[in-house]
Structure 1
Amino acid sequence: MHIRVIVPVIGDDLLDRVIEEVQGWAGPGTTVDAVSLKRGTASIESEYDEALAAPGILDRIVEAKVDGVDGVFVTCFGDPGVHAAREIIDVPVVGGYEPAMLTAMSFGEKIGIVTVLPNVLPMLHSLSRRYGIDNRVGAIRVIDLPVLGLEDRQTMVDRLYEQSLDAIESNDADVLVLGCTGMLGVVQELMNRLTEAGHRVPVVDPTGAAITWLEGSHRLGIFPSRSTYMPPPAKERSI
Structure 2
Amino acid sequence: MHLRVILPVLGDSLVEAVRAEVAHWAAPGTRFDVVTLARGTASIESEYDEALAGPGILERVAEAVEDGVDGVFVDCFGDPAVPAAREIAGFPVVGGFEPAVLTALSLGERVGVLTVLPNVVPMLRSLARRHGVETRLGAIEVVNVPVLGLDGEGEALVELLAARGREAVARGQADVLVLGCTGMLGVAEAVRARLADGGAPVPVVDPTAAAVTWLERAHRLGLRPSRTTYLEPPAKHRVP
TM range (shorter): over 0.9
Establish whether residue 215 from structure 1 lines up as the match of residue 216 from structure 2: yes
With the length of structure 1 as denominator, give the TM-score of the two structures: 0.99
Residue by residue over 1:186-228, the C-alpha shift from the partner in whole angstroms, topping out at 9 and shown as x without a partner, is: 0010011111112210000000000000000000101011111
Query: Aligned partner of 1:164: which letter?
Result: G
Other-structure match for 1:35: 35
Q: How does 1:171-210 map to 2 (within 5 A)?
A: 171-210=172-211
Q: How does 1:80-95 map to 2 (within 5 A)?
A: 80-95=80-95
Moved segments of 4+, more than 6 Å: none
Between 1:49-58 and 1:144-153, the stretch displaced more is: 144-153
Other-structure match for 2:57: 57
Other-structure match for 2:122: 122
Q: Deviation at 1:154?
A: 2.2
Q: Give me the whole-angstrom Cα distance separating, in 1, the residues matched to 2:157 and 2:90.
A: 37
Q: Give me the whole-angstrom Cα distance separating, in 2, the residues matched to 1:194 and 1:121.
A: 23
Other-structure match for 1:166: 167
Q: Give me the whole-angstrom Cα distance separating, in 2, the residues matched to 1:112 and 1:121.
A: 12
Q: Deviation at 1:64?
A: 0.4
Q: Give me the whole-angstrom Cα distance separating, in 1, the residues matched to 2:80 and 2:162.
A: 27
Q: Deviation at 1:71?
A: 0.5
Q: Give me the whole-angstrom Cα distance separating, in 1, the residues matched to 2:157 and 2:7.
A: 20
Establish whether residue 132 from structure 1 lines up as the match of residue 132 from structure 2: yes
Establish whether residue 67 from structure 1 lines up as the match of residue 63 from structure 2: no
Other-structure match for 2:229: 228
Q: Give me the whole-angstrom Cα distance separating, in 2, the residues matched to 1:87 and 1:153.
A: 38
Q: Give me the whole-angstrom Cα distance separating, in 2, the residues matched to 1:156 and 1:39.
A: 29
Unaligned runs of 5+ in 2: none
Q: Deviation at 1:155?
A: 2.3
Identity, in percent, stands at 62
Residue by residue over 1:82-104, the C-alpha shift from the partner in whole angstroms, topping out at 9 and shown as x without a partner, is: 00000001000000000000000
Establish whether residue 143 from structure 1 lines up as the match of residue 143 from structure 2: yes
Unaligned runs of 5+ in 1: none
Aligned residues: 239
Residue by residue over 1:16-71, the C-alpha shift from the partner in whole angstroms, topping out at 9 and shown as x without a partner, is: 11010001000111011100000000000000000000000000001100110000
Q: Give me the whole-angstrom Cα distance separating, in 1, the residues matched to 2:87 and 2:147.
A: 29
Q: Deviation at 1:119?
A: 0.3
Q: Give me the whole-angstrom Cα distance separating, in 1, the residues matched to 2:158 and 2:38.
A: 31
Q: What secondary structure is seen at the aligned counterpart in 1 of 2:113?
A: strand
Q: Give me the whole-angstrom Cα distance separating, in 1, the residues matched to 2:38 and 2:231.
A: 27
Q: Give me the whole-angstrom Cα distance separating, in 2, the residues matched to 1:234 and 1:185.
A: 43
Q: Give me the whole-angstrom Cα distance separating, in 2, the residues matched to 1:185 and 1:222.
A: 29
Q: Deviation at 1:78?
A: 0.2
Q: Give me the whole-angstrom Cα distance separating, in 2, the residues matched to 1:15 and 1:90.
A: 26
